[in-house]
Amino acid sequence: MIGNAVKSIFLENEENLLINGDNVATLTDTNNLEHALLVLTNIGYSKIPVLNKEQQLVGLISLSNVVSEMFDTESINPERLAEIKVSDVMDKNVKATMLPFNIEKILNLLVDGNFIPVVDDKEKFLGIITRKEILKSVNHLAHELELKYDVYEKEIQEGETLNKAFNIYPKR
C-alpha cells in the first residue's frame, strides 16, 4: 500500500499524468493493416490504442502484430495487409484504468508497458498515462518528500524483522 504522504506528493502533478485522447494516435478496429502500418511507422510508436466507432477502447495494435501478418511460410507478402482488419489481429486483452487515478494500480500496470489507456465507466477512451509522466512524478517525489515532511528512522523493537523503517511527519 502506498502511504498518504507519498500519494499526496505523487499526485501534485496529477493534471499532467493524463495525455488527452485527442492528442493520442489511435486506430479504429475497422482500419486495415496497411493503414495501421502507415500510422505506426509515421508516429514512431510500437503500439497504439484501437477504438470502435463509439470511441470505446477495444484493443491495442502493435507494429509486430502488423508485420507478422506479411509473412507466410515461404515469402513476404505486404499486399495481404490491405485485406486484414485491425480487429483481426489486435490484442483484445487490454488492462486500462479509470478516473480517479489509483496510483498503486497504475504503477503495477506500467511495469509491463509503456502506457496505460484511461477509460470512463462505459469504456470510452479518455487518453493514456505514460511511463514517462509517471517517472516525472517519481522524480518530483524524490525531490519534495523531505522538503515537505520530516523523516525519522524508526526505532526497531526487539523481534521485528525490518532492517530499516521510517516515520514520516508533515513539516511544521
pLDDT surpassing 80 at residue 127: yes
CA separation (Å) from 65 to 55, 106, 138, 159? 21, 25, 32, 53
- pLDDT tier for residue 47 given thresholds of 50, 70 and 90: very high
- Rounded CA-CA distance 26/20 in Å is 12
Could you tell me the residue ranges of all domains in the chain? 4-170
Task: Give residues with Cβ within 8 angstroms of 77, minimum separation 6.
Answer: 70, 71
Give me the amino acid identity at 71. Answer: F
Given a cut of 60, whether residue 163 has pLDDT beyond it is: no
Q: Among all chains, which residue has been given the C-alpha cell 486506430?
A: 27
**What is the DSSP secondary structure assignment for residue 168, as one 8-state letter?**
E
3-state secondary structure of 19: strand
Going through the chain in order, the beta strands assigned E by DSSP cover 18-20, 27-28, 47-51, 57-62, 115-119, 125-130, 149-153, 166-170
Biggest CA–CA distance in the chain, Å, is 72
CATH entry, 4-170, from 3.30.9.10, 3.40.50.2300, 3.10.580.10, 1.10.287.130: 3.10.580.10
pLDDT-derived band at 13 (thresholds 50, 70, 90) equals confident
Among residues 123, 121, 125, the alpha carbon closest in space to that of 19 is found at 125
Residues 93-111 have a mean pLDDT of 92
